[in-house]
Amino acid sequence: MKTQNKIIVVTGGGNGIGRELVLHLLNKGARVAALDISEAGLKETAELAGDKKDKLSLHVVNITDRAAVEALPEQVIAKHGAVDGVINVAGIIQPFVRINDLDYAAIERVMNVNFYGTLYMIKTFLPHLLKRPEAHIANVSSMGGFLPVPGQGIYGASKAAVKLMTEALHSELSNTNVKVTVIFPGAIGTNIANNSGVGDSLKVDASSNQRAMKVLPPSKAAEIIVDGIERDEYEILVGRDSAFMNFIYRLSSKRAARFISKQMASLLPE
């Protein structure tokens, strides 16, 4: 689905990949409804939009609040007239600890934002998308959604759930006007740790011999994602690390798990 002149809803629009998607879509001629829990973040996105902010609407919402999500279509349609696409970006990581040491409050928070928030958005907007001549749903999973990362076991489980749900949705909607894409970002230069409230858990020893990951700028990630959506791709691997680990995982899941475990070992407490 070409995004020019389309109306796209983007969650997590107040920072990181979500913000860059909003800006990139506006530059391509789309109208955008940006959603985020942070009003300040959304206002910064609007400022960055410059003279294109007349095609942008801001919606402060907690996507784990189903009632709040279900009120969104009326608000978006009142502003823009319709909805042609939804890109579910909003997500958080967990504290970098083993599952045995992770409390249930953190577990529920991660699942509520990453899985249920995405589910609420899909269930709420899909009836409207089905009425459009063409439409698109794109959900951000993660490299951690197909590859087990020690210290991010629940985050990975939530993103694996998004992966499988999105793939099932693709099959269910194959004979409709709604295209579906799942997205697997690798290491992207965002503030997801601080935005998730777990910044202190990600302190890495600078003297560690851990091989540094090449971090992709969120603006480049946004370009890759929009390009993939416009080509109606089934899946989008964002970054060389994501593509490489997907390849290795398909060859040998055990080898890939062992490789990433060694890479991430320094992040886990003894």
CATH number of the structural domain spanning residue 130 = 3.40.50.720
Residue 251 falls within a domain, yes or no? yes
What's residue 170's pLDDT?
98
What's residue 239's pLDDT?
94
Residue 157 falls within a domain, yes or no? yes
Residue 2 falls within a domain, yes or no? no
pTM of the model: 0.92
Residue 139 falls within a domain, yes or no? yes
Burial 191-204 (b: 16+ CB within 10 A, else e): ebbebbebeebeee
Residue 1 falls within a domain, yes or no? no
What's residue 199's pLDDT?
63
Give the three-class secondary structure for 102: coil
Residues 6+ apart with CB under 8 A from 145: 156, 159, 160, 162, 163, 184
How long, in residues, is the chain? 270
How many structural domains are present in the chain?
1
What's residue 67's pLDDT?
98
What's residue 189's pLDDT?
84
What's residue 51's pLDDT?
96
Pairing relationship of beta strands 235-238 and 85-88 according to DSSP bridges: unpaired
Largest CA distance in the chain: 56
Please tell me the distance from the alpha carbon of residue 10 to that of residue 85, in angstroms, as a whole number: 9
The one-letter amino acid code at 166 reads T
Residue 65 falls within a domain, yes or no? yes
What's residue 269's pLDDT?
77
HSE (CB half, 13 Å, CA atoms) of 266?
11
Which residue range is the domain that position 99 belongs to? 7-198+206-267
pLDDT along the chain (270 residues), means of 10: 98 98 98 98 98 97 98 98 98 95 97 98 98 98 95 97 98 98 91 65 40 78 98 97 94 94 81
Residue 24 falls within a domain, yes or no? yes
Residue 53 falls within a domain, yes or no? yes
What positions carry a catalytic annotation?
Answer: 155
Residue 16 near residue 191, CB atoms below 8 Å: yes
